Structure 1
Amino acid sequence: MGVEIRVEGLRKSFGRQVIWEDVSLTIPAGEISALLGPSGTGKSVFLKNLVGLLRPDRGHVYVGGGDVPRLNENDLYALRRKFGVLFQDGALFGSLNIFDNIAFPLREHTRKRESEIRRIVEEKMEMVGLTGAGGKLPGEISGGMKKRAGLARALVLDPEVILADEPDSGLDPVRTAYLNQLFVDLNAELGATFLIVTHDIGTARVLPDNLGLLFRRGLVMFGPREMILSSTHPAVNQFFNARRQGPIGMAEEKDAAQIEDEGAAPPALPAPIQPQLMPSDGRVRPSMRRPGEWLRDHRVKAPPGSFIDNEGRDWLTGWDGLTAAHQRPQ
């Protein structure tokens, strides 16, 4: 089962350059969360602060009762065992075959027998759809397979938290869709906490339970998917709907004159909220919320056309019938 991550007042800079400051959020245990933002807003830096690879200027990162920036070396080493990390490029060793890449953490950090290591590695390879590929070198497989191999390696120590840094980077839309489905299926099976850093709007609109946006050296907003996807906050609306109108510019944030020039145009409505991606077996994950639940509770009107899937099914009104065979776990 996953653990909660609580971040309070986090600030990070490199020299005189402030990356972000006063970042506070709670990543719920066992849920899929995604953090987005324009390039250069410190999304990958944020992940490194969570696992103690970088130390913040100030603030707290609480994971499983420990405050990461204040742990001694031994306690930090033990806490990192709770994490599995999928790096942006897979970070596979080019001279090792896929099996040995996945087995590497087990051989480095455990005293398991080779027969047990083989069992675990083969189990994780099957879990990510790499059965039979163990003998191949990283240079002999596709980018999508490299990502899945990196994910299998992140899973071998049975982590409570899985961090994924731009997992869809370099993947075509079809392979991105397969990877997103894999994340949902793994969350349903393992119950681990997932935090995915991405700039892919397609992924953000269908995959996570919670969404956040980094911009202007801070966290603009973080919360349930329906809160973010229905938001009229200028930066959130612009980014999650891929629009030019708003405070985010081509290279950096726009100046006041640019924003004033745009002010004459009527504000754009949020795009329709798509149904959330379901596990392959159709079950309802414990962290999934009924479509429209947050909107109803907070008296927010859904954007027109929301919760209609590619087959024309209305998940807002048809949820009970569409999930009748796979009721929400009690």
Structure 2
Amino acid sequence: MAVFNLTPSDPSTFILTGIPGLEAAHVWISIPFSTSYIIGLLGNFIVLFVVGKEETLHKPMYLLLCMLALTDIGMSTSIVPKALCIFWFNLKGITVGGCLTQTFFLHAGAMMNSAVLVTMAYDRYVAICDPLRYATILTNARISKLVLVGLLRAVLFVLPLPLLLSRLPYCGNRFIPHTYCEHIAVAKISCGDIAVNRTYTLVITLVVLALDLTLIALSYGLIIRAVLRMSSKEAHQKALNTCTAHICVMLTSYIPFLFSHMTHRFGQGITPHVHIILANLYFLIPPMLNPIIYGVKSKELRDNVGKYTCRM
């Protein structure tokens, strides 16, 4: 194995240690990492290709699915290739600029992912509660504007994170006990005061999560009320089926994120390797499962994937 020969005090680099305590198993750990990443890339690129080629899928729901695929690709690609370099080749060094860039993209991607899930919940609300006006309320132009608002929110909220890290002094210790440059993990190796970093991260996480989960809960509360007013059991089933995929995607996205965040904040008794593995699951599991979930639950998408697959 090649070793990235750096001194711990090199001011131009940080050193990502991977998964502390499991260094001997890095090669074995890389197998599920790389497999999940490849499956996720393949599935999401298939979704993008099929929706892009098939004009009948140029609808708000599938455009949002494409946005979800793009954020999933971006988030997983921001960390997995570097993690695999650590596992396979012991290439642990990362420049300070590269580390701050990675911090920005992975946190912005997570926030953008949440914004897309909120917009999907709104899409399902309109489809079920006001179906006759669906085409006029949720036009492709309006979806684009909502996605742009989510993107601007992500950039404006996350941009201070690398700026806060860049102002901190880093003394002798340049080792980050992680597979990627997570904001607080980088801040903890500083020899300066990181109270502002901790407070800002906690505030934006709570504000964004509270806002997004409240909007999603409100949408589904109105959906459930509308479903209960339907007299036909068949209508009940059809309405709930349209929401199943979105609910599954939300669970695969928010549950790993909440586990990771809670263990990072309050799980002092949890061993570091358990926390880091949980943190990585957020960037591996949703990108892998989301296209599978929508492929299984959406007959229109599934049929078109089959059509293009048979042509190859």
Short-chain TM bin: under 0.3
User: TM-score, normalized by length of structure 1?
Assistant: 0.25
User: TM-score, normalized by length of structure 2?
Assistant: 0.26
